[in-house]
């Protein structure tokens, strides 16, 4: 389908604007890709529904080099395997980081309330008469 959108003269989508994902909880994940035609000045948005467990879809980075980093970011943040991706390594998070922070089942770390260091109550100055 993506190759058709790129190669078919009536569509001529020659630019991948973005690829990302949405986590719908128990309903699974959805990969969103926005293609643009600089020839016809129109856009095509594609959605691919994926299961929550072991989500995977084909990479389009061989057809659209601009999809490379978008897929890597989506892979890292949502845990989606883009099959055939030429460089499936982390892009943003440090190497020891585990998990996929934009998934709804990612455990949030508890926050600790810290006192505000700004305003400090002090002694009132005595007025001189």
Number of domains comprising the chain = 1
> 96 pLDDT exceeds 90?
no
> 41 pLDDT exceeds 90?
yes
* CATH code (residue 41): 3.30.460.80
Q: What is the pTM of this model?
A: 0.80
> 61 pLDDT exceeds 90?
yes
**91 assigned to some structural domain:** no
**58 assigned to some structural domain:** yes
Sequence-distant (6+) residues with CB within 8 A of 108 are none
Q: For residues 92-120, give the mean pLDDT.
A: 80
**114 assigned to some structural domain:** no
- Residue 17's domain comprises 2-83
pLDDT of residue 25: 94
């Amino acid at each position: 389908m993506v190759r058709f959108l790129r190669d078919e003269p009536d569509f001529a989508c020659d630019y991948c604007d973005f690829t990302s994902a949405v986590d719908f909880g128990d309903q699974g994940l959805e990969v969103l890709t926005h293609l643009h035609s600089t020839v016809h000045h129109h856009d095509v948005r594609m959605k691919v529904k994926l299961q929550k467990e072991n989500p995977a879809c084909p990479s389009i980075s061989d057809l659209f080099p601009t999809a490379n980093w978008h897929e890597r970011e989506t892979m890292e943040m949502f845990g989606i395997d883009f099959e055939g991706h030429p460089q499936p390594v982390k892009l943003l998070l440090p190497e020891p980081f585990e998990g996929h922070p934009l998934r709804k089942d990612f455990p949030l770390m508890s926050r600790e309330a810290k006192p505000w260091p700004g305003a400090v109550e002090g002694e009132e100055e005595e007025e001189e008469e």
